[in-house]
Amino acid sequence: MSEEELEELFGKGCFKQFPDKVYHRYGFTPAKAEVEEHHVNVYTGKKTEEIVRAPHPKCLLRRELCVPVH
- The model's pTM is 0.37
Contact 15, 2 (CB under 8 A): no
Q: What angle do CA 23, 26, 27 make, to 5 degrees?
A: 125
Phi, psi of 52 (to 5 degrees): -130, 135
Residue 58 pLDDT greater than 80, yes or no: no
Q: What is the pLDDT of residues 2-43, one digit of tens each?
A: 888 888 888 888 888 888 887 777 777 788 777 777 788 888
